[in-house]
Amino acid sequence: MSEISVSQWHLSEELQLLTEFGYSDLDMPYQSVGVRSNKDIREPETHSDVRVLEVIATCLTTGKPGDVVAAAFDKRGNIRLVLAKNGDVGSTDYTATRTFISDLMIANDWIDLLPFLVNHSKTNIDKRISGLHRSITDIRSTLEKAATEYTFESMEKEFPRSDDYRDIMYVGKDIPTVARVLSDLIQECINASDFAVDEDQQSFMKYVRLVNVAGILRDSRFLSELISDPNRANWERIQDTVKLKRRLGKVCQYTRIRQLIEKVQRLPDVPFEWVEESFADTGEGEFKFCMDPMEAVGRVLHRQLTPKEIHEVAERFPSLSSNWMGRRFYPRIHAELRIILHFSPPLLSESLRQLPLRGSEQLPIGCSKRSCLCCVLWIDAFNGRTGMSWMTSGSHGKPYANWALPGTAGEQIGAALRGVDGQVVKGINTRLKDMLAWLNVKGGPKRISDERASSGSESDTSEHTGEMRRARLRAILVGDYAAIPRPKEQA
Ligand SMILES: [Zn+2]
């Protein structure tokens, strides 16, 4: 086994142990990774680019396991879209991207992209719909109970920009109370999320309707108040509400295609490329875990575990052994790192002798999924050594055994970059040692939800105004896809 293969094998085992222990870096005391979103430090242009790039990446992922897409703009000369994915790039990726861009060029609104999205990204859309359905069904009685103890403000404060929705929903009925509107919204969200998308207009309508209801509930004061509840006794309710809000945001994320349409239609065309470089001496390949996870734990601690320790760990994580035994894994360089490895040599070529650079501009990357723990550690180390400012929108802080060390792919950019991989290895090793120390104290870790993995949680308030919005709503509520006015037809 080559040196990098040994490092990769040990790293992947450590990452898998952390996964088995339910680890996430969020809310942990380590520097830099414990943030879900870096919105606060983004410059305005970075912020707008990240959001647009995230939508592009989300639209281009199929949603199948491991199919993560990353996107960046190459702004040297005419703007160019650069795309990468965790797996191999194939001809279908090029076809999908061409179709996507040509649909964007003639679209009037995000809903015009639905035929493409349902065709290309059905798995992802269905995952988002069913995730929302599960989440809101699970939390429903909690929300209803919370509503009985909640002091409602005016309709406008509770449900901003919802007057058209209410006018149409309650036409010919008595004016509803605020509490009633909330209860109806929850029910409506449950009903509207109980389906899977198909390539027909009826199905598109169902999705548009879901987005409509989900957007109002996501922006409601009620959910915000529950989330900002200072009472730690309500911790579980807060977490569940955060999760619900994130899932509401995820089904609504496609409405941001509007900003993308505006952006691309100002350009004569949108040239794109998929990063297809293959790098030598990386941690990519096929590996196999050892037979006994305790052996891997022993390697981390540089000692054999006592029978008592083995018993304690096995008791706390009963499926650890069966999940582990001799399992194969296939680490790949993650999409966001492929973008960085592709761009950095030319960007750095003139400055290699004077690393690190000072005060360089932010370089945003949009991903179909938030960055994992190792990607954030690697990007941090890379930025630290080069002075560059690569950033994705945030991290879910979770470890993945299938994360591959870039190895010499990173190092060949410059001698100063040796050791970037090592910083990741060290960071993971420290976390695992701390986790093991913590496990030996008392109490088990709380299982950390996968749902931190999403992008698309930020609120998008740029809905249309006035008559246009009402006309859209009417068409949505009667289920007529073709009749939905698109913004550009307004003039
Ligand atoms: Zn990653």
Task: For residue 359, report the distance from its CA to the centre of ligand 1, in Å.
Answer: 25
Cβ–Cβ < 8 Å for 278, 134: no
199: which DSSP letter?
S
Rounded-to-integer distance, Cα 415 and Cα 368, Å = 32
Task: For residue 47, report the distance from its CA to the centre of ligand 1, in Å.
Answer: 20
Task: Characterize the bridge pairing of strands 69-74 and 80-85.
Answer: antiparallel
**CA torsion through residues 208, 213, 215, 216, sign:** positive
Cβ–Cβ < 8 Å for 343, 386: no
Rounded-to-integer distance, Cα 41 and Cα 267, Å = 28
Q: What is the pLDDT of residue 415?
A: 64
389: which DSSP letter?
E
Cβ–Cβ < 8 Å for 392, 455: no
Q: Cα–Cα distances in Å, from 399 out to 69, 350, 374?
A: 18, 35, 7
Token representation of residue 283:
């941690």
Token representation of residue 237:
């309710």
Task: For residue 365, report the distance from its CA to the centre of ligand 1, in Å.
Answer: 12
Q: What is the pLDDT of residue 98?
A: 98
At 268 the three-state DSSP class reads coil
At 273 the three-state DSSP class reads strand
Task: For residue 382, report the distance from its CA to the centre of ligand 1, in Å.
Answer: 14
Q: What is the pLDDT of residue 450?
A: 34
Report the chain's mean pLDDT, rounded to a whole number: 86
Rounded-to-integer distance, Cα 417 and Cα 419, Å = 6
**CA torsion through residues 198, 98, 48, 395, sign:** positive
Rounded-to-integer distance, Cα 257 and Cα 357, Å = 35
Q: Using one digit for the tens of pLDDT, what is the confidence trace for 322-362?
A: 889 889 999 999 999 999 998 887 777 655 544 444 456 88
Q: What is the pLDDT of residue 436?
A: 86
Q: What is the pLDDT of residue 347?
A: 73
Domain borders along the chain are 1-75+284-349+362-444, 110-264
Rounded-to-integer distance, Cα 161 and Cα 213, Å = 12
Task: For residue 397, report the distance from its CA to the centre of ligand 1, in Å.
Answer: 9
Residues of the chain with pLDDT under 70: 27, 31-37, 349-360, 409-417, 440-470, 472-474, 476-479, 486-491
Token representation of residue 115:
């035929």
Q: Using one digit for the tens of pLDDT, what is the confidence trace for 395-433?
A: 889 999 999 999 876 566 666 667 889 999 999 999 998
Task: For residue 260, report the distance from its CA to the centre of ligand 1, in Å.
Answer: 25
DSSP symbols for 398-455: ---TTBPP-THHHHTT-GGGTTHHHHHHHHHHHHHHHHHHHHTTSSPPPPPPGGGG-S
